[in-house]
Structure 1
Amino acid sequence: MSKQSKLGLTSKILIGMGVGILFGLALRNFFPGSAFIQEYITNGFLHVIGTIFISSLKMLVVPLVFISLVCGTCSLSDPSKLGRLGGKTISFYLFTTAIALTIAILAAVIIHPGNASLAGNALEYTAKDAPSLSEVLINIVPTNPMQAMSEGNMLQIILFAVIFGFAISHIGERGARVASFFNDLNEVIMRVVTLIMQLAPYGVFALMATLSLTLGLETFESVVKYFLLVVAVLFIQGLVVYPTLLKLFSGLSPLMFLRKIRDVQLFAFSTASSNATLPVTIETAEHRMGVDNKIASFTLPLGATLNMDGTAIMQGVATVFIAQVFGIELSIMDYATVVVTATLASIGTAGVPGVGLIMLAMVLNQVGLPVEGIALIIGVDRMLDMIRTAVNVTGDAVATVIIAKSEGEFNEETFNNSQAGKAAKSFEEQVLNSK
């Protein structure tokens, strides 16, 4: 087979996505209400394949975050540089989240997607208790780092990894030996990522087929304006705001960036999880975009936990939508409260599917709106969750490139080379295929 005819990973994922959707729709239309399809195909074969794929990605998250952050932090031996990098990263993430919320609220107020007649159709929805800001801050510090790792508490893992890496960088020769060990571990983890990526087209096929079989299309009819408005604002954030910030702060080509971020966006869309996509994001930032490991290994794990612009957009539009449905007028102060609350709520929001609804409950409580309104949008939230996760990881990557450029830890030649990273991946695929 010639090189030209060999499909790349992006093409395979797109084919898997398309075939999965068509397969699911075909089964749904030709075998409506079939118990066999439900039990053996949807909840059997497809569920097993999709779950294995998601689990294989999630199993890398904790070791990848911990090891990469230790490597990134111990390479920043200057405390002032570590503080500067952390300050830049968090400030940029909060800045873009505030922009996302402002656009979302303005769009919802102008378009007015809410219809008061829908309130009577609201289903009962019991939201889990969202943590208060004080609880979030207290829970950042782990009482047991091992427990934090076993439970996947990302904020606690991040804090412990930063402290651990900082300590390594300040104990001289012994620290250098430990740092070398962690750098070797990081290479091993990235090779595991390469192996797991070979499952991606099959996992995406199963996930999209399941979605096509289970998504209730009738739900779209009642909240179609809400759905389309959220999608529109997500596209504005992903295709207008981020490229503009990239060009403004770094001078780099937004088109080249969008071209190289496609694999990451497809993974995020398929998994609806920023954390599960993290291995792909880190590999793309380093090998395709030219970001130095010490920056990518610090900003991207932080972004997977702190930077939730897509989720913030959903919360902004949903808050206004629910207020309109229930005929409740929100004041300027209420809108300001939504922006501040949702921005702060993004700190500590887990990068896993569906968590946005939990944080939305907290935002609604802050402005006195009925939490039961979440029932109106829960039917379409799965699809929106997939799109907003793609926006979340795009924001992480933009911030990483901008910060790396400002710190002088960026290879612009690699960024501008459309083939950068592809040769290495082809070699790795050859090695895998030869075994």
Structure 2
Amino acid sequence: MKGYLKNYSGIIWLLTGIIVGSIAGLIFGKKVEVLKPIGDIFLNLLFTAVIPLVFFAISSAIANIKPSEKLSKMMGITGVVFLATVLISAILTIVAVKIFPIHESLTAAAITEKINEKPFADQLAGLFTTSEFFELLSRKSMLAMIIFSVIIGFATHKSGKEGIRFASFLQAGNEVFKNVFILIMKGGPIGLGAYFAYQVGVFGPQLFGTYAKSLGLYYSFGAFYFVAIFSLYAFVAGGMKGIKRYWKNNLIPSATAVGTCSSIATIPANLDAAKKMGIPDYIANVTIPLGATLHKDGSSISSIVKMAVVFALFGKGFDTADAIILALGMTVLVSIVEGGIPNGGYVGELLFISAYSLPIEALPPAMIIGTLVDPMATLLNATGDTVASMLVTRFTEGKQWIKDSI
């Protein structure tokens, strides 16, 4: 019993903090806003540490892998797995919308978020690159920083003896920032507890308002996808042992994802979980940071739900072949261009409204739904990265990977 408590003490304290915070939010309502600074401090520490952690994780993973075809094979499989899981989530959501149609009229609300009005070409350039080096240090430039990290990793490969020394530095940096994350997570029970209290106290009542039906569909289907489909993916990756290993190590990443509403903030927890699942470092250190920006099952599901709601709002049918094919293409695009930060941009809403030639009045309902489903969407986005990494490992290392790993 003592050994059990020692192994799971971190999880128990984290869940205790979350439960106490949630109860406080329910009891005291908006009064718990006074706790928000505590949650913000915890999140700020996570966000500050995550940028160097991702840089060292990716660059060291590539720099320290032995020259072979394994890396290119892994990257190709990662692309296929990411695309396939996003499309599967979208197709299953379309089926769910067909079974449980959304006909509720919605009242548009005022837009309070500032929309980026830059031309799409400029937004695209800004997505993959930055004009100044220091801009790479912002979490808003996550994809650009990941691309830069990949370049650093490959450049280290080509630098001979000097590259060997630099690769050791990258590996040391990776280990240091893993421990930075461990130290920050010591405050997780208090930080996440305060943030949960704020989220439940301030935003909880909205879940039972105008958007209850669409939110009910999203959260119900999201829960099904989280439990059933992720279990199926884990089974494909490693059989029953894969399922057990995934869920045994998925609790802290799940709590972090829901509490922070950020895929990026969940990267350290996912990397730690991936190591415990037995996923090789050279796979986890690339697929998980990359997945935080490019692989979003939750965003794919929310895109379909938002499209169905907006279509119902404007009296259009979401059942023609053209609409569905375009919807699938849009979900893939949204998964690529949306950021991994809380409510990190409404590019997805603008894209599908433009693609379907809908009026600008369609934007507020889509934005409101996007905000209210953010906790579940982030949960699916973030924890989907670890199970995707298991699939990548299965198809890169072979069936035996689950037996050979710890």
TM-score computed with the length of structure 1 as normaliser: 0.84
Q: 1:302 to 1:260 in 2, by over 3 A?
A: same
Structure 2 SS opposite 1:355: coil
Instruction: Judge conservation of contact 2:292–2:340 (CA < 8 Å) in 1.
Output: yes
Aligned counterpart for 1:124 among listed residues 110, 117, 125 = 110
Q: 1:369 to 1:108 in 2, by over 3 A?
A: farther
Q: Which residue of 2 is the match for residue 154 of structure 1?
A: 142
Q: d(CA) in 2 for partners of 1:77 and 1:292?
A: 14
Q: d(CA) in 1 for partners of 2:156 and 2:281?
A: 17
Q: Which residue of 2 is the match for residue 274 of structure 1?
A: 263
For residue 380 of structure 1, report the CA deviation from its aligned partner. Answer: 5.6
Map 1:62-81 to 2 at 5 A: 62-78=51-67, 80-81=69-70
Q: d(CA) in 2 for partners of 1:96 and 1:411?
A: 21
Q: d(CA) in 2 for partners of 1:268 and 1:210?
A: 15
For residue 134 of structure 1, report the CA deviation from its aligned partner. Answer: 5.0
Q: Which residue of 2 is the match for residue 23 of structure 1?
A: 24
What is the aligned length?
400
Q: 1:401 to 1:307 in 2, by over 3 A?
A: same
Q: d(CA) in 2 for partners of 1:189 and 1:310?
A: 28
Unaligned runs of 5+ in 1: 418-435
Map 1:415-430 to 2 at 5 A: none
Larger radius of gyration: 1
Q: Which residue of 1 is the match for residue 85 of structure 2?
A: 96
Q: Which residue of 1 is the match for residue 302 of structure 2?
A: 314
Map 1:105-254 to 2 at 5 A: 105-116=94-105, 118=106, 121-125=107-111, 128-129=115-116, 135=122, 137-139=124-126, 140-150=128-138, 152-215=140-203, 217=205, 220-251=208-239, 252-254=241-243
For residue 340 of structure 1, report the CA deviation from its aligned partner. Answer: 0.3
Amino acid at match of 1:122: A
Q: Which residue of 1 is the match for residue 288 of structure 2?
A: 300
Structure 1 SS opposite 2:397: coil
> Sequence identity, in percent?
26
Structure 2 SS opposite 1:222: coil
Map 1:25-64 to 2 at 5 A: 25-28=26-29, 37=31, 41-42=32-33, 44=34, 46-64=35-53
351-360 vs 275-284, which deviates more? 351-360
For residue 65 of structure 1, report the CA deviation from its aligned partner. Answer: 1.1
Q: Give CA-to-partner distance per residue, 1:211-249, whole Å, 9 cap, x none.
A: 222126255232222111111221232222222233224
CA RMSD in angstroms, aligned pairs only: 2.6
Amino acid at match of 2:402: E
Structure 1 SS opposite 2:336: coil
Q: Which residue of 2 is the match for residue 412 of structure 1?
A: 402
Q: Which residue of 1 is the match for residue 344 of structure 2?
A: 355
Instruction: Judge conservation of contact 1:103–1:233 (CA < 8 Å) in 2.
Output: no
Q: 1:21 to 1:177 in 2, by over 3 A?
A: same
Q: d(CA) in 1 for partners of 2:207 and 2:365?
A: 9
Instruction: Judge conservation of contact 1:124–1:372 (CA < 8 Å) in 2.
Output: no
TM-score computed with the length of structure 2 as normaliser: 0.90
Q: d(CA) in 2 for partners of 1:219 and 1:293?
A: 40
Unaligned runs of 5+ in 2: none
For residue 336 of structure 1, report the CA deviation from its aligned partner. Answer: 1.1
For residue 198 of structure 1, report the CA deviation from its aligned partner. Answer: 0.6
Q: Give CA-to-partner distance per residue, 1:47-74, whole Å, 9 cap, x none.
A: 2101001101101121011111111111
Q: Give CA-to-partner distance per residue, 1:372-412, whole Å, 9 cap, x none.
A: 33433655644521111111122110111222233339863
Q: Which residue of 2 is the match for residue 342 of structure 1?
A: 331
